[in-house]
Amino acid sequence: AGGGDQEEEEEDDDDLVQTDRLDGAQVVPEMGADTAEPAMRGGGGGARPSGVVVGIVRRAWRPYACVLDPDSAMGSQYLAEPLDTRIPKINLTTRQAEMLRGKLILVSVDLWDAGHRFPTGHYVRTLGAVGDKEAESEAILIEHEVNCAPFSPQVQACLPAKGWTIPEAEIARRLDLRDGGPSGKVLVCSVDPPGCVDIDDALHAYELAPGKYEVGVHIADVGHFIKGGTAIDAEAAARGTTVYLVNKRIDMVPKRLGEDLCSLHEKVDRLPLSRISG
């Protein structure tokens, strides 16, 4: 957490290592190992590993979505309260306090002097009014560090050219479930809700004999288009997931891939990975 030199929390936090709370524990190297075997904290309950902060490589500061506290005024100095309750209030100097009242603002931390209770930062920009859907949505994305930037030309270049169709060689090496498949009885249906544009899950089931069924689960074969080590592979790995808010969606992969090439649309040839049992 930013400002690790401030020690005001009164309860232990498993995510923090604080030098004044080690209860005399020492980190003792384990013979013949590359890692250290920490001493365990004493006192009731289970043993807990302990450590010592030896230095700060870099500050993990970033802009924070905040609300200005008008009652904290000391001249032109105010406290901005981050939406993330784990982050302390931030000292802010501004002559626009009235304009910022009731607004969600973005504040960046500049420094945290060892003798000061709170870090010092500066105003970056206004997101919008508190309670406004667009402003609150943007604040959520900022707080969770969701990458909303457009996909780069290098990522877009990894997609096949427009007008792409499944090559005959690819069709020949796969089980063809079009038109009912080999049995003529396969009817594949999506499990995504009506109106969904990125249809990536589907299934089928039919009776083989009384009490015996064939069941197939089908997932869009994104790996056919995303090869390891490519720009689109690195971007998808960095984003991790598609993020859904009430009013928008931030894609993990370009829309053409998620909503077209890898979307199992009705009566359109597509490539899935399938697991069929029966």
Question: How many other CB atoms sit within 10 Å of the CB of residue 51?
Answer: 14
Q: What is the pLDDT of residue 25?
A: 39
Q: What is the pLDDT of residue 46?
A: 65
Residues 199, 201: Cα–Cα separation, whole Å:
6
Q: What are phi and psi of 154, to 5 degrees?
A: -65, -40
Q: What is the pLDDT of residue 67?
A: 96
pLDDT digit string, tens, across residues 190-216: 988 888 888 999 999 999 999 999 999
Report the predicted TM-score, pTM, of the whole model to 2 decimal places: 0.69
The tens place of each residue's pLDDT in the chain, 278 residues long, gives 344 343 344 444 444 444 444 344 343 433 333 444 444 444 455 678 888 888 888 877 789 999 999 889 899 999 999 999 999 999 999 999 999 999 999 999 999 888 899 999 999 999 999 999 999 999 999 999 999 999 999 999 999 999 899 999 999 999 999 988 888 888 999 988 888 888 999 999 999 999 999 999 999 999 999 999 999 999 999 999 999 998 889 999 999 999 999 999 988 999 999 999 98
CB under 8 Å to 155, separation ≥6 — which residues? Answer: 231, 232, 235, 254
Residues 264, 271: Cα–Cα separation, whole Å:
8
Question: How many other CB atoms sit within 10 Å of the CB of residue 248?
Answer: 13
